[in-house]
């Protein structure tokens, strides 16, 4: 059984969150969305159902 902190660490090891991706790439959100649409960037993954939180796989 995971504790809350290790589960969160696992999540951050596997996913990059939207703000992290923008910071790492230095690109605005619209540019990233466009490259996802053109299949030149990995698609976002919906996290936590319909809560609006998305991530991109870091592997």
The percent of residues above 70 in pLDDT, for the chain, comes to 66
Return the domain boundaries, the chain: 4-57
Per-residue pLDDT reduced to its tens digit, 21-49: 899 899 999 999 999 999 998 888 777 77
The rounded mean pLDDT for the chain is 77
CB 54 within 8 A of CB 44: yes
- Going by C-alpha positions, the residue among 44, 51, 49, 52 that lies closest to residue 15 is 44
**8 A C-beta contact, residue 7 and residue 15:** no
Pairing of strands 45-47, 53-57: antiparallel
Write down the pLDDT at residue 38: 96
Backbone φ and ψ for 18, nearest 5 degrees, come out as: -55, -50
Question: What global pTM score does this model have?
Answer: 0.64
């Amino acid at each position: 059984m995971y504790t809350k902190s290790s589960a969160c660490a696992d999540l951050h090891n596997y996913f990059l969150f939207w703000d992290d991706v923008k910071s790492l790439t230095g690109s605005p959100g619209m540019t990233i969305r466009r490259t996802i649409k053109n299949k030149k960037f990995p698609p976002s993954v919906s996290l936590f159902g319909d809560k609006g939180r998305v991530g991109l796989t870091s592997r």
